[in-house]
Amino acid sequence: MDLSSMLRIKYFVDTYLVSDEVPVSVLDVGSYDVNGSYKCYFKASHFKYTGLDMADGPNVDIVPKDVYKWKEIKDNSYDVVISGQVLEHAEFFWVTVAEMVRVLRPGGLLCIVVPRGFVRHRYPVDCYRFDADGMVAIARYCNIVPLHASCNLAPVGGSLNWYSNDEAHTMLIAQKPQDWKGLLDVDKYVFEESDMKKLATGFVPASIFLRLTYLNLKSLFSFSTRVIARIKRIFTSS
């Protein structure tokens, strides 16, 4: 599992799932543990984690008979649905996301991490790459409310591991409305440009991250220099 993807799911858990007062049911779509999984972030006792994938194996609890219709899961079953590094391998990814939303309870949260970069990696196919606008578009199609959307950005105070020139990630965090009315009626759709800066509030590109890091180090060096000078004066005067 790619570190950049792991960091994004961890951010989602640490930021949006902070309360431990009530049980939280979590469905991980694409949970097969090839080289790591997100399960490590849901070990707290109030989480009830379930893994779903198209093939049985490590960290898989549910294998749907139909790839695009998960009849094994009732509507509104989970408080949280997560998925990372999956949609690029789904021929009809919008149908997959629609199923995620169907099994998500009203008021529940969806977090999706997908590649923007990466070399071709068929598993068993490799069909798509995604930008933040694309994630907002699929949220609109599914009639859910985007809370966050970003591409190759990191939260202020994050690390360089969030960024990549060749293996960038895009993240969507969205909420299913309490009065969810089903998928978008495209006949009635009217385009409205999203405020992408607002959806990425608190996140910065690598250039700004490096600038902030430089300023912080410069300030720390300046402070350290002043402290050393003061200590020298103390010992000199004594």
Cis peptide before 58 (omega within 30 of 0): no
Q: In terms of domains, do 147 and 231 share one?
A: no
Residue 233, pLDDT score:
61
Q: In terms of domains, do 190 and 238 share one?
A: no
Residues whose CB falls within 8 Å of the CB of residue 25, separated by 6 or more in sequence, listed in order: 48, 50, 77, 78, 79, 80
Q: What is the DSSP letter of 35?
A: S
Q: In terms of domains, do 226 and 120 share one?
A: no
Number of structural domains the chain divides into: 2
Lowest mean pLDDT among 86-100, 131-145, 205-219, 224-238: 224-238
Q: In terms of domains, do 123 and 232 share one?
A: no
Residue 234, pLDDT score:
58
Q: In terms of domains, do 150 and 223 share one?
A: no
Q: In terms of domains, do 77 and 169 share one?
A: yes
Q: In terms of domains, do 102 and 121 share one?
A: yes
First CA to last CA distance, the chain:
59
Q: In terms of domains, do 147 and 176 share one?
A: yes
Side-chain-side CA neighbours of 213 within 13 Å: the count stands at 13
Q: In terms of domains, do 113 and 198 share one?
A: yes
Tokens of 75: 């509507």
Q: How confident is the model at residue 213 (pLDDT cuts 50, 70, 90)?
A: low
Mean pLDDT score, 141-154: 97
What CATH number has the domain bearing residue 72? Answer: 3.40.50.150
Q: In terms of domains, do 79 and 189 share one?
A: yes
Q: In terms of domains, do 37 and 141 share one?
A: yes
Q: Could you tell me which residue, 164 or 103, shows the higher pLDDT?
A: 103
pTM: 0.88
Domain span at residue 236 reads 205-238
Tokens of 124: 């068993």
Query: b/e per residue, 130-160, with b = 16+ CB within 10 A?
Result: bbbebbbbbbbbbbbebbbbbbbbbbeebee
Q: To the nearest whole number, what is the mean pLDDT of the chain?
A: 90
Lowest mean pLDDT among 67-71, 91-95, 124-128: 124-128
Distances (CA, A) of 233 to 222, 229, 237, 238: 17, 6, 6, 9
Q: How confident is the model at residue 224 (pLDDT cuts 50, 70, 90)?
A: low
Tell me: the pLDDT tens digits for 9-46?
999 999 999 998 899 999 999 999 988 999 999 999 99
Tell me: the pLDDT tens digits for 104-137?
999 999 999 999 987 788 778 999 999 999 999 9
Residue 212, pLDDT score:
57
Q: In terms of domains, do 108 and 220 share one?
A: no
